[in-house]
Structure formats: structure tokens, C-alpha cells
Amino acid sequence: MAKISKEDVDYISRLAKIRLSKEEIEKYRRDLEEILLYLEKLKALPTEKVKETSHILPIVNRFRKDRVHKGLDQKTALANAPGKKGSYFQVPKIL
């Protein structure tokens, strides 16, 4: 198992732009070592007969057929518009 040093944790925290106290560095060093130890245990499991999957549940895409239907005419679309200018929606400038 690879040992995690305080310098490793400090380097990672600088990459993440997170300031850590000395106590937090030691805590995260221990936590990361535990995670790596757990990963080593997982590597020892026999997984040759396990199928690869991207999700634990069977997922099926339920596509619906596209149906063409008539949309709103311009007058109906603009009927409840809070602002309109001619035949267009009027919105406040953002720039």
C-alpha cells in the first residue's frame, strides 16, 4: 500500500485551492490511507465472472414517437405577453 504523506495532502489541497490546518492535513492523510487500503482489498476480490455495467438497474430508453401538430398562431402566442412590440415579444435589455 502506498503511504500518503502530509506533503501529498498539502499538494492536493493546493490543487483544490483549499486551505487546511495541520490537524486537518493529518486527518485527511489518515482518511486517504484508509481509502487506499480499502481499494487494495477490493482489488483482491475475484471479479473475472462479473459482467461490466454502467448502472446497477436495467435501464431501457422509452422513446416516444414524434408527432407533428399545429402550434400556436402568432396572435394567440402574444395574447398574454407582458410586453410586445409589433408582432414580437418585448424583453428588457440585458447588456
Distance CA 57, CA 25 (A): 38
- Give the residue numbers spanning the domain of 13: 6-43
Residue 59 falls inside a structural domain: no
Q: What is the pLDDT of residue 1?
A: 57
Q: What is the pLDDT of residue 20?
A: 95
pTM to 2 decimals?
Answer: 0.50
Question: Which domain CATH number covers 37?
Answer: 1.10.20
Residue 36 falls inside a structural domain: yes
28 in Cβ contact with 20 (< 8 Å) = yes
Q: What is the pLDDT of residue 52?
A: 85
**How many domains does one find in the chain?**
1
Residue 84 falls inside a structural domain: no
Residue 89 falls inside a structural domain: no
Residue 68 falls inside a structural domain: no
Distance CA 55, CA 50 (A): 13
Residue 34 falls inside a structural domain: yes
Q: What is the pLDDT of residue 7?
A: 94
Distance CA 11, CA 81 (A): 55
pLDDT mean values, one per 10 residues, the chain (95 residues): 87 96 95 93 90 84 89 91 91 88
